[in-house]
Amino acid sequence: MRKLLLLITVIFVGILFIARLFYLQVYNKEAYSLYDDIAIRQEYHYPKRGYVYDRNGKLLVANQPSYDVMVIPREVEPLDTLEFCNLLKITKEDFTKKYDKAYHYSPRLPSVFVPQLSKKDYAVLQEKMRKFDGFYIQKRSLRDYQTSIGANVLGDIGEVNRRTIKNDPYYQMGDLIGKQGVELSYEKVLRGVKGVKFIQKDRFNKNIGPYKEGKFDTLPQPGKDITITIDSELQKYGELLMTNKRGGIVAIEPSSGEILAMVTGPSYNPNILVGRERSKNYNKLHYDSIAKPLYDRGLLAQYPPGSPFKVINALIALQEGVVDTDDKVSCRMGYYYGSRKLTGCHHHKSPVDMNDGIAQSCNAYFVNIYRRIIDQGDDSGDAMNNWARHAKSFGLGNFLNNDLSVGRPGRIPDGDYYDRAYGDNRWGSTYNVSNAIGQGEVEATPIQLANMAAAIGNRGYYYTPHIIKAIEGDTIPSQYTSLKQTTIDKRHFEPVIEGMFDVYNKGTASTLKIPGIDICGKTGTAENFVKIDGVKTQLTDHSIFVAFAPKDDPKIAIAVFVENGYWGSRFAGRMASLMIEKYIKGHITRTDMEQWILTHSLENEYAKPYSGEPFKINGETTLQLVDKVTATDTAHTNSNLQNQ
């Protein structure tokens, strides 16, 4: 019996071994298993990265050849280090550091030792590579920018980091990946797919030829070309206007949501982030704490939207039925709650209706209608939530779910926000009247304001702003062609649009008219407070402008934000009008405005304290700062002007 048991055991174990070997040799033939075989070396062939074109077919980004020196540490034999370092133009210390890094990554897998050799260096080194076992040259392509503009839009490519390698097995040490802009957003479309050859090695670790006659080898698949929505001429002009200024410009085609221009200032030439100088140049940009050229102000900077936000309050008031376009409000150079002045205002005729309230940017008018919105009903929290719901329907206060590589949500406060700050039902409209005029807790990015202008120009709908126009052999995602409806009825937009039209005819932008183009706009000034050595200090105000044109069939909607630009019509208004004329006409007739912008710099205004004197240009002035009201007082103002 024991003999039989022993025999059965031997037979059973034998069957298990045979079954496992059969599985490994017959069924387990997927190519991925070859990557772990130490007797096989993988040789990668990188595809052509897709080209990038602007909306008019102009080539913006192409490719140029690049040569990387690769190393497989365990295959490195003793070599003349001094000669090798001289050929690569590196020091012996650099050699040791690079080798140790490669060995730490993997002693048997290839990694980049010296990236991006020039053609001249490659030609010299190629003839002597046979002397350096374990090293070889790998050809790939780098970006070749055909333009000097749009660095924030186009982005750049750089070496992949360890986190990405860990999360995505496609990438290996030394691979290049999109770092920002469309290079990042459309990385998988542009990169293509690497090809690979499996090389069999003998017991002496020498190559003996293709593994299984190249049965598992693959060819590289080139990346797809893409067309982006940017008008490169408009982008170039916007960057010219933003010279020596800080801020953002975003222009959108209202009928499609396509982004026509996305300017941030200061910017930089994208060509400086190509080649062996990339790391050094990137560090210079990254550590520039004053200009912050890598910070895309059009997408990331959250500012108080200022007076342009008044048009949203006008639309909400009409939708909620708390105001009629003919209702008039008195203005005594500001809004008073009892004897306390909550906001200031500039001199204009009084009383004003909605049209004049928008055209003259009357603070008292908009605080009045805002209070009507929030104070209706018995519960301010519910009314505030309803107000927030309307505002958010314009794409404010949340991510727009676009295809841009970065962004921020802005902020539209609701009832819960103030319940957390003051306690449930222990606050009212007087606690946050600054929201009425685009200050207070309201914040928005320039792209959100441009989208808001597009929604108003469309009379109540918009398309998600996006940067992709076409993908070679593919279609763009449907989310960018689906209409988004606001919560405001179409009939309420006409009186507000008339008010915005009169901003140019008789209001705060009356000197900014463009011959032959009916523009609807809204100026804005946002107060700017920072803490300097622990003391709250008011700096030069920000200049804001939103607009769309033409009035009845808008082709462009735009938002301009210029940091420390004083008031709305001074910098932002001029720049917006010029951008609109450039896009619609293709040339500039208001050369007086253009010359003024190009010869005025704001390079040092970021650190200039505000004098405290009100500015009065075209009837518009900055708000007057009010004293903080304690929680026990009847009237409250919880503005960011006091809390920043």
pLDDT at 632: 27
Answer yes or no: do 306 and 421 share one domain.
Answer: yes
Answer yes or no: do 279 and 209 share one domain.
Answer: no
| CATH number where 144 lies | 3.90.1310.10
Top-confidence residue, 213 or 326: 326
Q: How far apart are the first and last CA of the chain?
A: 90
- Answer whether 0.85 is exceeded by the pTM: no
Answer yes or no: do 221 and 323 share one domain.
Answer: no
Distance CA 329, CA 336 (A): 12
Mean pLDDT of the chain: 85
Top-confidence residue, 88 or 259: 259
Q: What is the pLDDT of residues 214-239, one digit of tens each?
A: 788 889 999 999 999 999 999 999 99
Q: Please report whether residue 174 resides in a domain.
A: no
| CATH number where 625 lies | 3.40.710.10
pLDDT at 153: 96
Answer yes or no: do 212 and 273 share one domain.
Answer: no
Choose one of 228, 260, 280: the last residue of a domain. 228
Q: Please report whether residue 160 resides in a domain.
A: no
Q: Please report whether residue 30 resides in a domain.
A: no
Give the burial class of 380: count Cβ atoms within 10 A of its Cβ; 0-12 exposed, 13-18 middle, 19 or more buried: buried
Answer yes or no: do 210 and 253 share one domain.
Answer: no
Q: Domain residues for 605?
A: 232-288+298-643
Residue 472 near residue 226 (C-beta atoms within 8 A):
yes
- Measuring CA to CA, how many Å separate 46 from each of 7, 37, 49, 593? 56, 22, 9, 50
Number of domains in the chain: 2
Neighbouring CB atoms inside 10 A of 95's CB total: 18
Q: Please report whether residue 33 resides in a domain.
A: no
Q: What is the pLDDT of residues 431-487, one digit of tens each?
A: 898 899 998 899 999 999 999 999 999 999 999 999 999 999 999 999 999 999 999
**Cα angle for residues 510, 526, 357 (degrees, 5° grid):** 45
Answer yes or no: do 513 and 526 share one domain.
Answer: yes
Answer yes or no: do 379 and 484 share one domain.
Answer: yes
The pLDDT of 36-53, averaged and rounded, is 82
* Tokens encoding 210: 């293709």
Answer yes or no: do 324 and 215 share one domain.
Answer: no
Residues facing 226 on adjacent strands? 52, 471
Weakest mean pLDDT among 41-45, 101-105, 128-132: 41-45
Q: From the centroid of its chain, how far is CA 510?
A: 32
Q: Given a cut of 60, is residue 630 above it in pLDDT?
A: no
Distance CA 568, CA 354 (A): 20
Q: What is the pLDDT of residues 14-35, one digit of tens each?
A: 888 888 777 766 665 554 456 6
Answer yes or no: do 135 and 282 share one domain.
Answer: no
Q: Which helix (H) or strand (E) holds 384?
A: helix 380-392
Choose one of 200, 228, 256: the last residue of a domain. 228
Top-confidence residue, 470 or 425: 470
Answer yes or no: do 121 and 258 share one domain.
Answer: no
Q: Please report whether residue 8 resides in a domain.
A: no
